[in-house]
Amino acid sequence: MLNYIWSGLVIISITCSIIFGNTSNLSKALIDSGASSIELIFTMAGIMCLWSGIMKIAVESGFTSAIAKLFAPLLRPLFPKLNKNSAAFKSITMNISANLLGLGNAATPFGLKAMEQLHTLNNKSDTASNEMVIFVVMNTASLQLLPTTLATLRQTYGSSAPFEIIVPVWISSACALAVALILACTLNLKR
């Protein structure tokens, strides 16, 4: 569906450009946006490589186990059926840790691994378990303490203070997570 919407917007833009005689502006925008897209890709790839490497070091140094122990009391009520020493629980805590640092791209491999491990523990393979639903909700509406990806984008586009948005990010992500967890837990109880 999104492909149709996107294609429609492009066709409407090109048509309006031709009708109103702005084809030179359209050509310039196409060329400029292509160049800026490549520049953005390289900037984001560098940040992703840096933080993915740091997360890999954290896994191999045992830091992940320490984080799992730190988060265990907070996550136990949300995942009561999971053993806190299980691989699924550790993957969940690493995903949450990466999301807390605003590293959604570095969190993705941990999230995929956690869902795979939760799926193996699920008795009904065609239906998501309560743990899977809660994890997806937490991953989607994640709390961000340090929005590094957003700050990188702001700095790339010329912000003089890329981290000045940190308090609004804390407030909005905490509210989103609270509402999402309340709804998910309430609806899971009715299943």
Q: Count of CB atoms within 10 A of residue 175's CB? A: 12
Q: Which residues contact 125 (CB under 8 A, 6 or more apart)?
A: 119
User: Which of residues 16 and 190 earns the better pLDDT score?
Assistant: 16
- Predicted confidence (pLDDT) per residue in 31-62, tens digit: 888 888 888 888 878 877 887 787 778 778 87
Report the chain's terminal Cα–Cα distance, integer Å.
30
Q: Considering the entire predicted model, what is its pTM?
A: 0.68
- Predicted confidence (pLDDT) per residue in 128-155, tens digit: 888 888 998 888 888 877 787 788 888 8
Nearest CA among 69, 174, 64, 75 for reference residue 134:
75
Provide the phi-psi class of 173: left if phi over 0, else alpha when psi is between -120 and 50, else beta.
Answer: alpha
